[in-house]
Chains A and B, each alone.
Chain A
Amino acid sequence: MILPMSKVRVLGARELLPDVLPILQDFGQMHLTPPREAAGVHRVRPDQAQERWARQLGRIRQSVRAALDALGGPAASVSRGVPTGADRETLASWVRLARRVRREARALRERKVGLEEERAFLARYWKFFGPFQDLAEAAARWPGAAAYHVVLPRGGERPLARLKAGLREMLGEEFEIWSREIETGETGVLMLVPGTASERLEKLFTAERVEEIDLPGASGGLSAAQAIPRIVERYDAILGEVRALEASLADLARRHEETLARAHGTLTDELARLEAVERTAATNNAFVLEGWLPTSQVPALRSDLEKALGETTVVEEVSREEWVGEDVPVVLRNPRLFRPFEMLVGILPLPRYGSIDPTPFLAIFFPMFFGLVLGDVGYGLVLAGIALVLRHRSAKASTLRAVAEIAGACAAFTVIFGFVYGELFGDAGARLLGMRALVFNREEALLPFLGLAIAIGAVHIILGLVLNLISKLRQGRRAAIGPGVMLLMVALVVLAILAAVGVLPGAFFTPTVLLVFVLFPVLVVVEGILGPTELVSAIGHILSYARVMAVGTASVMMAVAANRMIGAMGSLLVGSLFALLFHLVNFALGVFSPTVHALRLHFVEFFGTFYSPGGTRYEPFGHWAPPSGSKPMPQSKGPT
């Protein structure tokens, strides 16, 4: 639901403003609005010294932020409470610390990047030289020979044959040549030739346009046989060095991140108080602060101010008539079970204040539609396992936790509908365990499934139209006439269709159709020319729910096809492997596709009937806190 909000005005003697602001900041619930100027009441503007102070604080905060970023972002574990009112000496110490940490972190990171690049470089060489390791002895048996390593482009044997012919013409039989295909698809070639032939050979390379590969710099002057063990040794040593650097970075974060995050918090709070001053209106003797807060919090604000300052300040509620039409900030507050779905609603702009919060409806219908489409006990259990792992690995109140909880709800509905359809990894449950559909088998009952999907669409769209009617009724009866007629007409069309297909007695058909014709001119009068268009659009939206059946049938057919592979491949093992692979692909599609379609059915079809976007984000004046999705402390990161 959207929390009811109140607009309040805090008034007091002007000299009390510096005492009131920290109390409001500790309270952390008031969304301040810009001051309104009137005769004798003006906006408080900072003087030059205050502006300079704000700029200085902003620069220090930027420096501290850069240091935190260099450490990998503020840790979620940093406590929220921060000291306020830092003196100049403390500020200077923060600047020095931020500079030092940034310098050290940057140096460590640059060194790490350099080592990783070197490792990748060696790995590239390893791809080429690795296959020739067993040729070391051959090279050793020919002292005074020069080794050349070249890469020939893709193109089969022809470039190699040309190279061999060129060598034979130049050196007779005085050369050794070995070739292997390397991972890139090119051909790696190792040649041993007499040391005196170097100059002629290089001319041949130029003529044949072959690329010569030099050994890595550190191995210069060594033969491949000598260099390869050194490359391997260095490759392994780099990993240890990278881990040591990561440990140093983690240690740097452990020593300074807490201090830096507290500094960032203190500076942000100080800057927020300076901004709050600019949102204050004042007369020569008094100040006025206006803002929004949840209605339930108004007594708490009064009590906090009274406790701290006695009766020297006044908190008055602005009457609704005074603020009607203003942009009221929106706070969504839903029961624990529905809260993760606020993340999905957050994909769209916030609902307008006074309209309906769609979260509870999304929380019920989204996982239900997902389950209706995927509907398989096996896939549902796999998804539940993934959801559990995600939940275990995610921080409280993070996006990942919300995703895990939504996936859990979807998994539950997938298992339920799996029993309804009698599916466990497609028809494997029926074939191996004798599982039977509780209601209908999707493989065979295409028409009942289509009917169910469209019936659910009708219920969903009519529910949306009812919500629209309720929303309009809040604005007045007159505003509700059009949506009321629309709801009635859509319901009548649905009843007529049900009577036509024999779900309702045939006697319903004629009266409902006649009523539709009677109401049609009313709809045109009330809603204008767009009324009939919206009616047709609503019917189209109901038919759009057929996708639940279409995507669901595709999913079950894929699973059945996967199971058929076991018997169709000749070998049980190969068939089973292919079946497993196909099930994996189907599972991935089966998670992605219902998510997109269920979201689309909500955002386009369902929300289109009642959702009113355009709400203002609630940004209360409070203390800085690390974002809930903050990175964990760097020391918990594993080696890359």
Chain B
Amino acid sequence: METAWTYLAAALAVAVPAVATAWAQSRIGAAGSATMAEKPELSATIIILVAIPETMVILGFVVAVMILIGQGG
């Protein structure tokens, strides 16, 4: 049972930030697309901006790895 909880915790550690990242990226992406339509020279900056919220899911991934390694899984 404890193992199941550990796996669930690891899955949630990735899943919840992944949803948050997706939500943030959808907002930035929509605004970025509108900006690119008016100022195509900002494309590179917008790609970077879209990548910024990924920190959340990366940190979630690190936490998940820590949980699994702590469990020995």
Contact = CB atoms under 8 A, between A and B. Distances in A.
Select the residue from A446, A447, A544, A550 with max chain B CB neighbours within 10 A.
A550
Given A446-B65, A447-B69, A450-B65, A600 B48 contact: yes
A566 to B, nearest CB: 29
Contact of B65 (A447, A547, A597, A600): A447
Interface string A161-197: 0000000000000000000000000000000000000
A603 interface: yes
Contacts, number: 42
A309 B52 CA distance: 58
Q: SS class of chain A's interface: helix, strand, loop or mixed?
A: helix
A546 interface: yes
B58 A544 contact: yes
B60 to A, nearest CB: 10
A550 B61 contact: yes
Nearest to A541: B55
A447 B54 CA distance: 20
A465 B23 CA distance: 32
Interface residues of A, number: 17
Select the residue from A447, A540, A600 with max chain B CB neighbours within 10 A.
A600
Contacts of A596: 47-48, 51
Interface string B35-58: 000000000110110011011001
B20 interface: no
B51 A600 contact: yes
Nearest to B57: A550
A604 B48 contact: yes
Interface string A412-453: 000000000000000000000000000000000011001000
A599 interface: yes
B8 interface: no
Contacts of A540: 55
Contacts of A550: 58, 61-62
Contact of B55 (A446, A450, A544): A544
A38 interface: no
B48 A603 contact: yes
Given A347-B44, A347-B45, A450-B65, A600 B52 contact: yes
A543 B62 contact: yes
Contacts of B59: 543-544, 546
Select the residue from B45, B47, B62 with max chain A CB neighbours within 10 A.
B62
A581 to B, nearest CB: 26
Contacts of B45: 347-348
Contacts of B69: 446-447
Interface of B: 44-45, 47-48, 51-52, 54-55, 58-59, 61-62, 65, 69
Interface of A: 347-348, 446-447, 450, 540, 543-544, 546-547, 550, 596-597, 599-600, 603-604
Which 6 pairs of residues, A with B, have the shortest CB-CB distance? A347-B44, A547-B58, A600-B51, A546-B62, A550-B61, A596-B51
18 contacts: A347-B48, A446-B69, A450-B62, A540-B55, A543-B59, A543-B62, A546-B58, A546-B59, A547-B54, A547-B55, A596-B47, A597-B51, A599-B47, A599-B51, A600-B48, A600-B51, A600-B52, A604-B48
